[in-house]
Amino acid sequence: MSDACIFCRIVAGTIPATLVASNEHGVAFRDVNPQAPSHLLVIPRRHVASLAEATDGAALGALMLLAAEVARSDGLAEAGYRVVVNTGNDGGQTVHHLHLHVLGGRAMHWPPG
């Protein structure tokens, strides 16, 4: 955990967030700046700066399963949803703690931008 990392502080409970699910590997909460009608973030409990630094395949799989769970619970599974992982500055990552964006509630277009 890093005191400077906003997502580590959410995991620790020192910054409020609208939590929607959690398990031993991760926490899911609503994005404060949603880019779709439903925009959830899924983060690991342990600080991992980005996907490029991830080494635990089982933990990554658990995060993906948590993303699918919150998509179902938010009513996104039938129509579909998008899961995005931005990695590094050029990849659009602005918080350097691995996180999955779960976006839905509208049609997603390609290319994303």
- Residue ranges of domains in the chain, CATH in brackets: 6-104 (3.30.428.10)
Main-chain phi, psi angles of 56, to 5 degrees: -100, 100
What's the pLDDT score for residue 113? 60
Q: Which residues are catalytic?
A: 99
What's the pLDDT score for residue 7? 97
Residue 1 has pLDDT above 80, yes or no: no
pLDDT per position as a tens digit, 50-61 = 999 999 999 999
Residues with Cβ < 8 Å from 96, sequence gap 6 or more?
5, 49, 50
pLDDT per position as a tens digit, 38-49 = 999 999 999 999
